[in-house]
Structure 1
Amino acid sequence: MLGGAGLLLAASPAQAADTSYKTECIPPAVSGLPPVEGTTVAQLTAPAEAKVGDTVEVVWKTVEAASKNPDMLDLGKDTVKPTGTIKVGGAATGTLQMEGPRQNPPIPKNSAMVLPDMKGTLKLEKAGEITLTPDAYNINVSKPISTDTKCSPKETVKTGATIKVTDGGGATTGGGTTSGSTAAGGTTSGSTTGSTTAGGTTSGSTAGGTTSGSTTSGSTTSGSTTAGGTTSGSGGGQTDFPGKEVAVHFACTSPGPAGISSKVTINAKKSGGSYALTVKTAKGVMDSPAALPAGALKPSMDVSIAGADKGSVKVTGPANAEPLELGKPVDLSDMTGTYKPGASGKSTLSPGTLTIDVTLGASKINIPCKVKGSVTPSLELDTTAQQGGTSGSTTSGSTGTAGSSAGGTDSGGGLAATGAEGTGTLRALGLVAGTAILLGGAVFTFTPWRRLRGTR
């Protein structure tokens, strides 16, 4: 009964063992650093024995990460957050998503990464022996900007823990692990007959067909469907369409930062035939290169539309409400706009060019930051064409700009050129290059914006 209610059980003494495997870690694209090969030492802790119907907790302790903190930047306290995947085998097949808190001591540059323990929960649905094997993991650093280092095995990994599952009289559904319960610090985990879940969403097979839906605490909501975390479907009276958080790298034009990395989420709320969009970026996307007064910095973005519809939608956010201190993290305000579909069918919405406008008195500077490389769509909508909609049109705030590339990325992919036009702006504002800030292991050169208040 307790297992069926989804309560966390520790049925018998837990086991822990170290597993070592060769690993390749890929630094953030904006860092310019090459891949690093090293050895991961992981220790998995799980009950040695349990019964069918039990929900057990699995803990991943990273004894040794494969890569060190590069010799560029000291990482502050509580800025590191790991996530990972455990392969489930034996009597059950699938994957178990693991997640740790953003919790760490200060990590000096050129020293070992200290990662908090990751946790996940596993519901046992079939008797037999279940094996748990550590697999790929990701290290997210939130400051000065949000960056990800992705680590994956380069050899066959040995089993890290085994759970002997006995028939306790609970009902089974055909083997495999199922998702549904989340422990504190863990994530919704596992899959049915091999399907994989990530980021707290669940996708699984059900009798009579396959349902893929957005979930809350493991329960699947029918009616709206998700694929890879994006939301599709506008029928059934649904009005709110939450998007998936996606990682985006932006290359900016001088005198702004060379690049910005951030997680971006596009949410939509349907009103009639149109959608009110809200675009959110991660906290602390960059450090302020100068002391700026309230109302000086304002963000906007061109949301790229692809699929059945084509174009882009301009969304804008209010300026900073509080003064910004030199070297302190900057949070961009939420950006809003209206999307009026110009075509019927499934359309995807992806982050596009991010623009930062800085105004100091009569001096104004515009810094466009184009998407560098590919980006995953944050949202999918099943749209119905509206008169005067986005497709093929160029407007600001409600409909799109022709020429956006399919898939939601700006063409070019490289760093924006800084030619005569950028030089003219610098001369007009009396700016000189100078302030260097280390961002997530890469060096980005900023203009000393404190001079913006000076005379021309």
Structure 2
Amino acid sequence: MLGGAGILLGVSAAPAQAAEVAYATECIPPAISGLPPVQGTTKVEVTAPAEAKVGDEVEIVWKFVQAASKNPNILDLGQDTVQPTGTLKAAGAQTADIAMQGPRQNPPIPKNSDMKLSDMKGKLKLTAPGEVTLTPDAYNINVNKPISTDTKCTPKETVKPAATIKVTDGGGGPGGTTGGLPTVVPTLPTGVPTDLPTGLPTGSSSPSSPDPTPSESETGADTGGSSTGGGDGGQTDFTGKEVQVPYECKTPIGDKEATSPVQINAKKSGGGFDLTVQFKKSVMDSPADIPKDSVKPSMEVVLGGADKGTVHVEGPANSEAIKSGDPIEIPDLTGTYKPGANGESTLSPGVLTIEALGTTTTCTPTKAEVSLTLDTTEQASGASGGGSAGSSTGGSAGGSSTDGGLAATGAEDHGSLKALGLVAGTALLLGGAVFTFMPGRRLR
């Protein structure tokens, strides 16, 4: 009986072997991130049977000993949000591209820490006797929250085989080269552009209420559009002029400078005015799929002249998901201005805030640019500097001790504002996405 058992053991497949290989790797973050390619070293341990016979379907395990880069200092990656896929090259007695895939399982990965990737597995059906070598090739990293992003990593040198299977002739017929896993290696989505977006989303081309063509006396010149105020003879709609606003932006990926064309319009409502702030011209396409209700813009309109303070205006969140390649538009920002002084009061675009996917980008004008001038009559609890700004659409405005203007720093030569650019990607991959204003050149 013991002898028979020995014979049975002798003809069974040899135990699995594990071997490690390291190779230079280039990882390409999603193009929308603006991050440059990352050069690093990937260390992989491949486990496979030392021996098997023709007709066997063997399982192979790819373990990441070291990814090519750390998670950069941008976003923390949540638990179970990262999934690797890749290709293992079979050569020698038979050739095949073996599809490898790992589960979406990972511990939380803080910013600026080592990547933690799950083990990938694949299957190969052996079709010919001889030695079959197994060599790691390209792999892809997917993060599914808050949106799906991919980073593609490829070898930059000839990779040595990590394991070898000795295949004996077991009389089995030829079979497929892979098991049940797909043979196509996932790659970066084709809808992601290769460069950063170059325009600013814009709202509707007309304000929320009809705007009659203003006369020269109504629109003004350097001081912005003006109204005839209390002596307006029944005029209710006032159109401001489009002004180029230089911004300094605090974004989740650093400080940026940009310029955006903005226009402020007003409609008389009792003793106050309903304001509409529009972002003009330059439309951009979405660089990736954007979930519904994920973007919320708002602004503090700065008062000057006779009145002081700010008026809070805001736009609705995107009511529908935006597909990659579809245009992104900044909706009209609306709010109510309740004057706190008699005389000519000016309105200038102020601090702009974008809340998106749990992140905040704040852009502050470096120079006051008056878009509209109104003749105002003081109202009870009106603006008149020093109070608190209204905090919701339709709320009354209050002062914020802004002196009616912002410091002029001469930032006049910034490139056009490339707003709401989707930042996705890290040196190896990005686990999230945020909306931010981008400069006129690629982010480094």
Provide TM-score, normalisation by structure 1.
0.47
The higher relative CO (CA closer than 8 Å, separation ≥ 6) is in 2
Q: Which has the larger radius of gyration?
A: 2
Q: TM-score, normalised by structure 2?
A: 0.48
